[in-house]
Structure 1
Amino acid sequence: MTKITEHDVLFEDNHYIAINKRGGDIVQVDDSGDKSMEEMVKDFVAEKYQKPNGAFIGVIHRLDRPVSGMILFAKTSKGLDRMNRLFHDRKVKKTYLAVVRERPEHLKGTLKNWLLRDRKKMITKAYNREVKNGSYAELDYEVIGQLDGFYLLKVNPLTGRTHQIRSQLAYMGCPIVGDNKYGYPRGSLKRTICLHSRSLAFEHPIKEEDMLIKAPLPVDGFWEKFNVLLTEQV
């Protein structure tokens, strides 16, 4: 994707804009030279509100390039500062959906690991014990259905570590479909993995209203099959 349209916008007010990210898009500029979502959202807001000098867009959180789904940007510095504080204080409930091939031993549980980033290989390794320079990571997961030999998991990370969900599910023996970096036998030709940022729930830090912003599943010939397993609570 090289341009944001109204179709991609999940929510917008004076302070924030939520976008349904497509798998394969980058959030911020990297060495690839591809246009980032940050740049695309800036262009979208500047054009929509006729801002010839450009728009302020602040990156609040990030999603890995192959991950799809809901991502929130700030349109004001005040909004950015206050949402950063909510994320820091863990007052934002993040819900992801992941598709795996292997059935978890337990249908519901909490994973607690220490994660260590291998910067040469650009992967995160999970351990079941504390390791030097490692970061503690915790998430809750639940199997919410099975379809055609695949399992759909709801995942709520309680910490925000690089590649946390990918590495912790792989350590559990359930690598995400398409994520050959973390042990799935083959990658996706679309350079995406079956991990989707489903929703963010939080109290709007300026309006003080309860917010729940959801992103529909990608329409790619595979993901949309799992809509039958979703309920209003997911």
Structure 2
Amino acid sequence: MDARRIKALSEYGEKAVQDRLTVPEILYEDNHLLVVIKPAGVLSQADVTGDPDILSMLKADIKERYSKPGNVYLGLLHRLDRPVRGVMIFAKTGKSASRISAQIRERCVEKKYRAVVCGTVLPVEGELCSAMVKDRERNRSDVYSLESAPETSKEAILRYETLGNCFYTNGSGERIEVSLLSIDLITGRSHQIRAQLSDFGHPILGDRKYHDSSGFRGDICLESYSIRLRHPITNETMEFNIPMPNGTPWSLFKKGSINGRE
């Protein structure tokens, strides 16, 4: 097995084969857009591992459903990290891709994320503004203060709001205090939310790459749950949302234990 693939599987955890190869759930589709839910553990686009990626899966699905000859055009407009589940938008025409990409550059596309992080986050809401540098050799991003940022860095901004706090009991029986955050991603740097929250002292549960030491053994507790944009042709405002996942630790916040205890 390729060394890069072994590293990926050890880092993210092996997903069930059927889950990885099932065509993602479609939230919306017309002649211009395709909106789907990317499963955790699936790449946004192909890489050297050769593992399943959502772009190739969707192209194959469109080709089969519509009996299209030749190559299928599908524009990748943004990415989600491999371990992250969430809403993704694809363009079905070049015109749509160009117009939505312009919205993204102008920061007119609103993307919201949910995360369960270690500890109690104070202040309960705020903005994180720092500088980031992508380390391609290690496949991670490093965070710097704006004052000490190297010239190659890029500004990274997000806003967060604490939705609740509770205790989670890990596999070793330790009780870990965790917080549920809603995050508005203002810029879209590689691994931005993961790296900034870790630097803030609140790594995301399950994110071993960015120093989660809670003992949580499941998938990273981060998902893209909402996207709002203008339709590239009609200019209609569109918003797509997905519910919070089932399973621990998400279920702790569904049971009314927010701001309480197990």
TM-score by length of 1: 0.90
The answer to whether the 8 Å contact 1:139/1:158 transfers is yes
Match in the other structure for 1:143: 162
What are the ranges of 5 or more consecutive residues in structure 1 without an aligned counterpart? 230-234
CA distance in 1, matches of 2:228, 2:132: 25
* Aligned positions of 1:4-83 closer than 5 A: 4=23, 8-83=25-100
1:107 alignment partner, one of 120, 124, 147: 124
SS of equivalent residue, structure 1 residue 14: coil
**Quick one: which of 213, 224, 248 aligns to 1:197?**
224
8 Å Cα contact 1:25/1:66 also seen in 2? yes
Q: Which residue of 2 aligns with 1:218?
A: 245
Q: After superposition, where does 1:116-127 map in structure 2 within 5 Å?
A: 116-127=133-144
Q: Distance in 1 between matches of 2:100 and 2:120?
A: 36
In the superposition, relative to structure 1, how do residues 189 and 46 fare at CA in structure 2: closer, same or farther (>3 Å)? farther
Give 1 or 2 for the bigger CA radius of gyration. 2
Do 1:14 and 1:75's aligned partners in 2 also have CA atoms closer than 8 Å?
A: yes
RMSD of Structure 2 on Structure 1 (CA): 1.8
- In structure 2, C-alpha distance between the alignment counterparts of 1:54 and 1:222, rounded to whole Å: 42
Say whether 1:175 aligns with 2:194. Answer: no
Answer with 43-52 or 168-177: which moved more. Answer: 43-52
Query: Equivalents in 2 of 1:208, 1:135: separation in Å?
Result: 31
CA shift, 1:177, in A, is 0.5
Q: Which residue of 2 aligns with 1:206?
A: 233
Q: Please name the residue that 1:134 is paired with.
A: 153
Distance 1:135 1:32 in 2: 28
Residue identity in the other structure for 1:132: E
Instruction: Establish whether residue 184 from structure 1 lines up as the match of residue 203 from structure 2.
Output: no
Query: 2 CA distance for matches of 1:187 and 1:63?
Result: 24
Q: Which amino acid aligns with 2:44?
A: V
Deviation by residue 1:166-188 (Cα, 9 ceiling, x = unmatched): 11111110000011111101676
Q: Which amino acid aligns with 1:111?
A: L
Aligned with 1:216: secondary structure? coil
Q: Which amino acid aligns with 1:9?
A: I
CA contact (8 A) 1:107 1:143 kept: yes
Contact 1:178 1:188 in 2 (8 A): yes
Q: Distance in 1 between matches of 2:64 and 2:141?
A: 39
Q: 1:54 Cα deviation (Å)?
A: 4.2
Q: Deviation per CA, 1:37-82: give whole Å up to 9, x if none.
A: 0011111112222213342111000000011110111111111111
Hey, what's the Cα distance between the residues in 1 that align with 2:125 and 2:226?
Answer: 19
How many aligned residue pairs are there? 226
Task: Say which of 172, 181, 185 aligns to 1:153.
Answer: 181
Change (3 A) 1:156 1:29: same
Deviations 1:72-107 (A, max 9, x none): 111111111111111111110110001112111210
1:179 and 1:187 in contact (8 A); partners too = no
Shift of 1:212: 0.5
Residue by residue, what CA displacement relative to the aligned partner does 1:150-201 show, whole Å, maximum 9, x if unpaired?
21100011111111111111111000001111110167656x3111001111
The 3 A distance-change label for structure 1 pair 187 and 115 is farther
CA contact (8 A) 2:161 2:183 kept: yes
Whole-angstrom CA distance in 2 between matches of 1:161 and 1:201:
19
Alpha-carbon separation, structure 2, partners of 1:87 and 1:227: 32
Contact 2:120 2:165 in 1 (8 A): no
Check whether the contact 2:118–2:214 (CA below 8 A) recurs between aligned residues.
Answer: no
